[in-house]
Amino acid sequence: MDFGVVLQADPPSAAVVSLMRRAERNGFRYGWTFDSTVLWQEPFVLYSRILEHTERLIVGPMVTNPSTRAPEVTASTFATLNEMYGNRTVCGIGRGDSAMRVAGRPPNTLARLGEAIGVIRDLAEGREAYVGDHRIKIPWIKDGKLPVWMAAYGPKALAMAGELADGFILQLADPFLTEWMIKAVRKAAVDAGRDPDEITICVAAPAYVGDDIEHARDQCRWFGGMVGNHVADLVARYGEHSGMVPDELTDYIKARESYDYAHHGRSGNPDAGFVSDTVVERFCLLGPVAAHLDKLQQLKALGVDQFALYAMHDAKESTLDAYGAEILPAFAD
């Protein structure tokens, strides 16, 4: 199993670079950031600096979307980084939650997202692609490589990930829901004539190593609030108890009222009060090292290829170090 770290692009940027270097020293292979450029700094500028100051780390957004940047801009940006640092990028992409809503726009349609996946990958790897009705090619790209991983929760999005994406990003670490969603992605891949084993499965969630479970839950409760935005969209589309989405995912947002993106992804988010202790523990990895090892083994057995650790709490450094010393070695191939 591979491991990644997910950070917000908060200033000072030097601190983000430093944490990414620390992650690489601890054996992490991937360095991800949020991509919501009203709320945080521009991630692609940071990627250039991170790549310059690391040797092996693969970087990318968790996740970008096809509207805040035109697909040809996204492709060219990734290709430039790859030319500079040697194919060390991955494109995580989704419909866009905070990035779009903070700018006063709804998330992208799945149709737009599906089209963008192919366009970005083809252009970044030097092939021709249609942008609208116009066929283009970026002429200077040589030997470019850009895997595109799609974030998804709902049945239509899961099917699209299986049909089109190189990887699937699931932003929660509940084993039951992980199994359900991986099966949906793999079934869609088979139905599309693809080898499901070629789709990389990435589970991303907060991890907090420590013995004070109550404190760890409070530090990570924001995550249930963030996931709740996506779940609310699913309930609006499919209704409650529709059979299209597991009740284990949708029931927990019944007490959700409002959401202010000013607190998005922040410990102490006041809009995450509806998230119960049980949900925090289901969605995240909390507690002593042994608890992390146990849950990661469960996820690995379900087919998870990468666990991406959200380090957005008051124990970033110690958690990265604990993973490097005691957890990553247990999963070394």
pLDDT at residue number 242: 84
Q: What DSSP element (H or E) covers 207?
A: strand 200-209
pLDDT at residue number 292: 98
- Show Cβ contacts of residue 84 under 8 Å, excluding neighbours closer than 6 positions: 48, 51
Structure confidence at residue 134 as a pLDDT band (50, 70, 90): very high
Cα distance from N-terminal residue to C-terminal residue, the chain:
8
Tell me if residue 60 falls in helix, strand or coil.
strand
Region class of 108: left (phi > 0), else alpha (psi between -120 and 50), else beta: beta
Q: What is the pLDDT of residues 80-110, one digit of tens each?
A: 999 999 999 999 999 999 999 999 999 999 9
Structure confidence at residue 37 as a pLDDT band (50, 70, 90): confident
Q: Are strands 91-93 and 148-151 parallel, antiparallel or unpaired?
A: parallel
58 phi, psi to nearest 5 deg: -100, 130
Q: What is the pLDDT of residues 198-235, one digit of tens each?
A: 999 999 999 999 999 999 999 999 999 999 999 999 99
The mean pLDDT of 14-19, rounded to a whole number, is 98
Half-sphere exposure of 217 (CA within 13 A, CB side): 12
Least confident of 51-55, 254-258, 293-297: 254-258
200: β partners: 167
**In this model, does residue 243 exceed pLDDT 90?**
no
Residue whose structure tokens are 């092939």: 127
pLDDT at residue number 241: 84
ω before 63 within 30° of 0 (cis)? Answer: yes
Q: What is the pLDDT of residues 108-118, one digit of tens each?
A: 999 999 999 99
- Percent of the chain whose predicted confidence (pLDDT) is above 70: 100
Q: What is the pLDDT of residues 149-198, one digit of tens each?
A: 999 999 999 999 999 999 999 999 999 999 999 999 999 999 999 999 99
| pTM of the predicted model as reported, rounded to 2 decimal places | 0.97
- Show Cβ contacts of residue 146 under 8 Å, excluding neighbours closer than 6 positions: 75, 78, 79, 82, 87, 89, 90, 91, 120, 121, 124, 125
Q: What is the pLDDT of residues 55-83, one digit of tens each?
A: 999 999 999 999 999 999 999 999 999 99
Q: What is the pLDDT of residues 117-130, one digit of tens each?
A: 999 999 999 999 99
**In this model, does residue 305 exceed pLDDT 90?**
yes
Quick check: 102 and 36 in contact, CB under 8 A? Answer: yes
Taking Cα atoms as reference points, which of 229, 222, 221 lies closest to residue 151?
A: 229
Mean confidence (pLDDT) of the chain: 96
Half-sphere exposure of 77 (CA within 13 A, CB side): 19
Q: What DSSP element (H or E) covers 238?
A: helix 213-238
Quick check: 73 and 42 in contact, CB under 8 A? Answer: no
pLDDT at residue number 136: 97
**In this model, does residue 333 exceed pLDDT 80?**
no
